Amino acid sequence: MMSLRTRLFLILVAATGVIWLFAIGWIYVGTKHEVEGVLDARLQEAARMVASLVPTKGVATPEASHDALPGIPIYERQLSCQIWSLDGRLVARSSGAPRSRLSDTEGGFSERDIDGESWRVFTVEDADKGIRVLVGDRLGIREHLVAGIVKGLLTPTLLIVPLLGFLIWSSLTSGLRPLRALARELQTRNADDMSPVQGDQASAEILPMTAAINALFEKVESARRHEREITAFAAHELRTPLAGLRTQTQVAIGARDPAARERALRQILVAVDRTTRLVRQLLAMANLDASHDALPDAAVNLGAAIDEIVDAVPGHDRIRVEIEPALSRTTVTANAALLVLALRNLHENAVEHTSDSGLVRWRVDSNADAILIAVEDEGPGIPPDELQLVTRRFFRGRLKRPSGSGLGLSIVELALRANGARLNLVNRGDRSGLRAEIVWPLPSDKTPARAPRSAAVLRFATKTS
């Protein structure tokens, strides 16, 4: 695989080469334009000078040989001059000038092909002397001059190309040094080391990478810390019910009294229920820590969902459950699994803390901004100073139950947050007990129709309405 340094080097060299070719073309066009301007001016000057030297009577001038004049530059030796009378007679011509007429124009610049060569000619006419002077040069000579000038400019520049390549390579090596240092640090780092990567001296381009790596380390450390917490908590909490299971099993095995054996078996059943609930909550907490962005939403009927939960959760042989009929006419769009998880934990919490013959009531209300789903129990409530703490993981307050794990309300809050809702806990004002409210925000363009209130439905152990 090609390294980043090599890839950047090739890109920069290619880009420099393209710019260089463009510069060469620009220099060539500009130089050609300037040279042609200078040479055209020389043609004009030469033609007017020759015309001024011709006698007034237009006496024929013998042919002059430029070859006999030493030290004249090559371009000047290639100038050709013709003097023609106005009636079309060749009066004189320079050495090397063709015998055919250089131009048929009466004045100014023109170009013409003579004997396979292209000529640039300037013509000046002197009516008083009765002559027409034509001075021209070959366009091939001009191209040779332009090429020579461009070559003289580019030769030193081309010699700099290797030096430029070396400087580009060195600059890339220096610029990527912080990246290589970061790679070396990560390669030599211990697998348990989640401390932030030091990127204070890195360039602005490297800082986002170090920030992303540090954010990843923080997430991994948080996940590992959470796993350690759950593992330690599970080991601690499971120790008691497992020990109880063993003890009660031994009692049941050794008991000869049927009543004692039955009591031991009932205690085993209680321990199994507590252990099952604890394991289920631990698994739910672990799943909630994962991202639920990809989970699909669906329409959830609150009444049907709560009915299923009431049927599935044990403990209704000692309490009553009241479900407001409006819940069966209330539907929300949510992740069904997470919403049911939150509702189940709220119901289990209410049933767990409600005293015998007490009432657990599910209610619903709505306004232009939100749907309010509430469950009320007749338990002891929560001390006011602990209301903001009970949603913390593994928090168990002063009024904790032996069967509690400190995870139920934490699971509720996480599940609701993943659905865009929030949990509000308040102690009841009419009597002892807790009111847990799910505040479900509504889109600004949707206001639910308020369901008419009617007599509540009471659920007993017989599951009749």
- Residue that the structure tokens 């007993």 belong to: 460
Q: Is residue 179 part of a domain?
A: no
Same structural domain, 153 and 227 = no
Whole-angstrom distance, CA of residue 31 vs CA of residue 422: 76
Contact yes or no for 206/219 (Cβ under 8 A): no
Q: Is residue 170 part of a domain?
A: no
Same structural domain, 416 and 299 = yes
Same structural domain, 22 and 141 = yes
Same structural domain, 393 and 323 = yes
Global pTM value: 0.47
Residues 261, 264, 266, 268, Cα dihedral to 10°: -130
Q: Which residue has the higher pLDDT, 227 or 119?
A: 119
Q: Is residue 176 part of a domain?
A: no
Q: Is residue 18 part of a domain?
A: yes
Query: Which residues constitute the domain of residue 232?
Result: 207-285
Same structural domain, 450 and 387 = yes
Q: Residues 416-433: what's their mean pLDDT?
A: 86
Whole-number pLDDT of residue 4: 80
Pick the last residue of a domain from 232, 251, 285: 285
Give per-residue pLDDT as tens, 116-132: 888 889 999 888 888 88
Same structural domain, 312 and 280 = no
Q: Is residue 72 part of a domain?
A: yes
Q: Which residue has the higher pLDDT, 165 or 72?
A: 165
State the CATH number of the domain containing residue 412. 3.30.565.10
Same structural domain, 411 and 268 = no
Cβ-based burial of 396 (10 A; exposed 0-12, middle 13-18, buried ≥19): middle
Same structural domain, 389 and 252 = no
Whole-number pLDDT of residue 461: 34
Helix or strand holding residue 395 (H, E): none
Residue 42's identity, in one-letter code, is R
How many independent structural domains does the chain possess? 3
Closest by CA to 366, choosing from 341, 336, 331, 339, is: 331
Helix or strand holding residue 337 (H, E): helix 336-353
Pick the last residue of a domain from 285, 317, 346: 285
Pick the last residue of a domain from 285, 302, 323: 285
Give yes or no for residue 61 having a pLDDT over 50.
Answer: no
Q: Is residue 173 part of a domain?
A: no
Q: Is residue 181 part of a domain?
A: no
Q: Which residues of 57-96 are buried (b: 16+ CB within 10 A; e: fewer)?
A: ebeebeeeebeeeeeeeeeeebbbbbbbeeeeeebbbbee
